[in-house]
C-alpha cells in the first residue's frame, strides 16, 4: 500500500513537471514571437492585416463551398431516383422549390425538357445556368492568392527598406562598431521577409484547397447534367418507339 502511494506521488510530480515545462515553452514561444514581431519594423503590421483579411476570405469561402457540396449531394441523392423513374413533373417540383446549385442547373434543363426534343437544346439551357453559377462559386477565391503575393512583396519591401536604413546608420558609425551594427540591422530587416513568407505560404496552400473544392463542385454539376441528359434522351427514344 505504501509503495503504491509513493508511486502515485512520483507520477503526480512527473505530470506537474511536464505541465510546468509545457507552460514555460508556450510562454517562451509567445515572448519570442512578440520580440520577433516588434523588431521587424513598420511593415510587420501591414503583413499582419493582409493575413487577417486573407484568413477571413478563406474561412468564408471554405464554409460556403462545403455547404454547397453538402446541399448538392443531399439533393442529388433524392433527385436521382426520381429522374431514373422518368417522373419529370416531380423532379421539376423538387428542383423548383430548392435553391441549391444542382437544382438550379437541372431545373433549367427540366423546364425545357417538355417543350424541345433535341438533346442539344436542353444541354445549352443547362450550360447557360452553369455559366451563371460558376462565377459565384469562384467569387473572392483569387483574393486569397492575391493576399499571399502581397504578403511576400511587403516582406521583401520591408527588408529592402531595413537594409537601406542599416547601411545609412553604418555609414555614420564608428569603424569598430560597423560590423556588429550591420549584422544586427540585417538580422532585424530579414524578419519582415520571414514573416511575409510565414503568411504567404499558408495562404497559398489554402488557395489551392479552395480551388480544388470549387473544381470538385463544378465537376459534380457537369456529371449530374450528363446523367440527366442521358435520362432525357432515353425516355424520349422510348416515347418515340411506343
Comparing CA positions, the residue from 224, 238, 239 lying closest to residue 102 is: 224
Comparing CA positions, the residue from 125, 90, 89 lying closest to residue 106 is: 125
Q: What percent of the chain has pLDDT over 90?
A: 32
Comparing CA positions, the residue from 200, 93, 185, 90 lying closest to residue 152 is: 200
| Global confidence as pTM | 0.77
Comparing CA positions, the residue from 182, 168, 196 lying closest to residue 54 is: 196
Segment 85-89 long-range contacts (CB within 8 Å, at least 24 positions apart): 86/231, 86/235, 88/113, 88/114, 88/235
What's the CA gap between 214 and 140, in Å, rounded?
Answer: 12
Q: What is the pLDDT of residues 206-232, one digit of tens each?
A: 999 999 999 999 999 999 898 888 888
As a whole number, the mean pLDDT across the chain is 80
What's the CA gap between 229 and 106, in Å, rounded?
Answer: 9
Q: What is the pLDDT of residues 10-51, one digit of tens each?
A: 444 545 544 444 454 445 545 565 665 566 678 888 999 999
Give every CB contact of residue 93 below 8 A, 6+ residues apart in sequence. Answer: none
Domain boundaries, the chain: 1-38, 42-241
Please give the chain's pLDDT, 242 residues, in tens. 544 445 544 444 545 544 444 454 445 545 565 665 566 678 888 999 999 999 999 999 999 999 999 999 999 999 888 888 888 888 888 888 888 899 999 888 888 876 666 778 888 888 888 999 999 999 999 999 999 999 999 998 888 888 887 777 677 767 766 666 666 667 777 888 888 999 999 999 999 999 999 999 999 999 989 888 888 888 767 665 65
Amino acid at each position: 500500500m505504501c509503495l503504491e502511494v509513493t508511486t502515485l506521488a512520483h507520477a503526480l510530480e512527473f505530470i506537474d513537471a511536464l505541465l510546468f515545462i509545457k507552460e514555460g515553452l508556450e510562454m517562451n514561444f509567445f515572448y519570442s514571437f512578440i520580440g520577433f514581431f516588434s523588431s521587424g519594423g513598420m511593415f510587420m503590421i501591414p503583413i499582419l492585416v493582409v493575413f487577417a483579411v486573407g484568413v477571413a476570405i478563406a474561412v468564408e469561402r471554405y464554409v460556403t463551398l462545403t455547404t454547397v457540396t453538402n446541399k448538392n449531394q443531399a439533393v442529388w441523392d433524392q433527385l436521382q431516383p426520381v429522374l431514373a423513374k422518368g417522373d419529370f413533373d416531380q423532379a421539376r417540383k423538387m428542383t423548383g422549390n430548392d435553391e441549391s446549385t444542382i437544382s438550379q442547373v437541372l431545373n433549367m434543363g427540366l423546364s425545357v425538357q417538355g417543350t424541345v426534343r433535341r438533346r442539344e437544346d436542353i444541354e445549352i439551357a443547362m450550360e447557360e445556368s452553369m455559366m451563371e453559377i460558376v462565377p459565384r462559386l469562384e467569387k473572392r477565391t483569387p483574393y486569397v492568392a492575391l493576399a499571399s503575393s502581397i504578403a511576400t512583396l511587403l516582406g521583401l519591401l520591408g527588408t529592402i527598406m531595413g537594409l537601406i536604413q542599416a547601411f545609412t546608420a553604418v555609414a555614420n558609425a564608428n569603424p569598430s562598431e560597423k560590423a556588429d551594427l550591420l549584422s544586427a540591422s540585417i538580422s532585424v530587416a530579414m524578419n519582415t521577409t520571414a514573416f511575409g513568407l510565414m503568411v504567404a505560404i499558408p495562404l497559398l496552400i489554402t488557395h489551392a484547397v479552395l480551388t480544388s473544392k470549387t473544381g470538385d463542385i463544378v465537376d459534380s454539376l457537369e456529371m449530374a447534367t450528363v446523367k440527366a441528359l442521358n435520362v432525357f434522351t432515353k425516355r424520349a427514344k422510348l416515347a418515340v418507339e411506343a
